[in-house]
Structure 1
């Protein structure tokens, strides 16, 4: 059972890495909304790296954010959290320790960073959407955020599956505890003929 859990945990971790990487490259972290608009001539969308606009003919232009320091603090922090995501034959004991280490490192390394990034970015989009003093263009949550949340959740689940086998009791013989008094042999009387 533990090998199956470790294998599923590994594959969930790999899939989450792919989904989170795709979310990082996805252009649609926030998309301009159409609510309240009479005529829509273009659509705007952004991610952590650039801002794009697409006109009614489907021609898109993108502008890369030029200065890191000119960006709002939450985008700088989201970039830092997403860049922290890293790609992560011995005896059975070493393999078990590596699986536990992977199970402990996977959630903070990938899932927590991805979930915090997507949630923070989404909170800012929602806050700006309902802010009456925000500019003319209002933005909604884009597919990139949902991909980021999905990747983070899969990494969390995969990490839990890698960590779970270490918590299972092993069926190895136990050594006597040094705090337990040794048992005296039981003497059974025997009959002697004589």
Structure 2
């Protein structure tokens, strides 16, 4: 696969991953109340990082936002920070990727564009890892409470938002790795060749000047 095709594939993967990850922000089904060992279910609870919702047996849903930031559990605050940072990093990665792709007309020389694309890949990898950590931390809290025999409050199961987030995070990481692989040779190896060529030119100049000085000394000796 050539560089253009690899960049386009990486860009599509990263865009899809970023969209999926961002779509989990308003998604309410991060965790859903379990109905195990319950004979009569009068209401279902579900929530995300921002609010808790209840859906009763009459079909009416009601949601309440988490009003106090400091009163939230630590894992929700950490997940918020990770996810928002991930979305911002991936957004910056999209801009850098558009500038650095070879099929675009902006960004300067090929080496400069490759550096932009390589930086975009780093942004997507870091953003994907942050969002993956966010969803994994949230899921770990759900599973630990679910299997805790001493936890007597409402137990929850993994919601659809977590699976969507995991898929988006994985796409961002894979796309970022493809970006780095496709552009690393152009961004760094050509620069090294340039230094080698400069060093060879300087060496040739030194050898030429030494040869000329020796020839001049030989000419003077011949006249003497």
Normalised by the size of structure 2, how large is the TM-score? 0.74
- What SS does structure 1 have at the residue aligned with 2:25? helix
Give 1:40-51 correspondences, 5 Å limit.
40-51=41-52
| Structure 1: gaps spanning 5 or more residues | 183-194
Deviation at 1:106, TM superposition (A): 1.2
Find the counterpart in structure 1 of residue 163 from structure 2.
146
Deviation at 1:176, TM superposition (A): 8.9
Find the counterpart in structure 1 of residue 141 from structure 2.
124
* Mapped partners of 1:92, 1:176: distance in 2: 19
Structure richer in helix, relative to its length: 2
Find the counterpart in structure 2 of residue 12 from structure 1.
13
* Mapped partners of 2:23, 2:66: distance in 1: 20
The C-alpha deviation readout for 1:52-102, integer Å capped at 9, x for no partner, is 000112210001001010011010100111111211202211111101111
* Mapped partners of 1:56, 1:147: distance in 2: 27
Deviation at 1:167, TM superposition (A): 3.9
Deviation at 1:177, TM superposition (A): 6.8
Is the 8 Å Cα contact of residues 24 and 148 (structure 1) preserved in structure 2? no
Find the counterpart in structure 1 of residue 180 from structure 2.
163
Point out the structure with max Rg over C-alpha: 2
Q: Which structure carries more relative contact order (alpha carbon 8 Å, separation 6+)?
A: 1
Deviation at 1:139, TM superposition (A): 0.2
Give 1:52-91 correspondences, 5 Å limit.
52-84=53-85, 85-86=87-88, 87-88=91-92, 89-90=106-107, 91=109
Find the counterpart in structure 2 of residue 107 from structure 1.
125
Find the counterpart in structure 1 of residue 219 from structure 2.
none
Deviation at 1:24, TM superposition (A): 1.6
Find the counterpart in structure 2 of residue 189 from structure 1.
none
| Structure 2: gaps spanning 5 or more residues | 93-105, 205-224
**Number of aligned residue pairs:** 179
* Mapped partners of 1:136, 1:117: distance in 2: 23
* Mapped partners of 2:117, 2:178: distance in 1: 9
